[in-house]
Amino acid sequence: MPLHQAVLDIFGEFNALPYHGEADDIGYTVLFLASGESKFITGQTIQVEGGHHIANPSISDFNDYVTKAKSN
């Protein structure tokens, strides 16, 4: 189930990039790793997350969303 747009907007405020990831963002990384271009890469963790791990919203950032959801 897709996330509600209000939740995506909250996470978007904390994201390093101005958009949410798409399947192609992961796919191009997989394609690169499966190609000969990555032949010298070993034992790495490659995070394809668009900067989502730089900062995350706190519970207080969701207060308005939760309050509105409870009233409906």
**Confidence at residue 32, expressed as pLDDT on a 0 to 100 scale:** 96
Q: How far apart are CA 72 and CA 26, in angstroms?
A: 36
Residue 31 has pLDDT above 90, yes or no: yes
Average pLDDT over residues 19-24: 88
E strand intervals along the chain: none
**Residue range 20-49: average pLDDT?**
93
Q: What is the dihedral of CA 19, 52, 59, 63, to 10 degrees?
A: 0
Q: What is the DSSP secondary-structure string of 13-44?
A: HH-SSSS---HHHHHHHHHHHHSGGGTT--S-
pTM of the predicted model as reported, rounded to 2 decimal places: 0.61
Contact yes or no for 41/33 (Cβ under 8 A): yes
Say whether pLDDT at 39 is over 90: yes
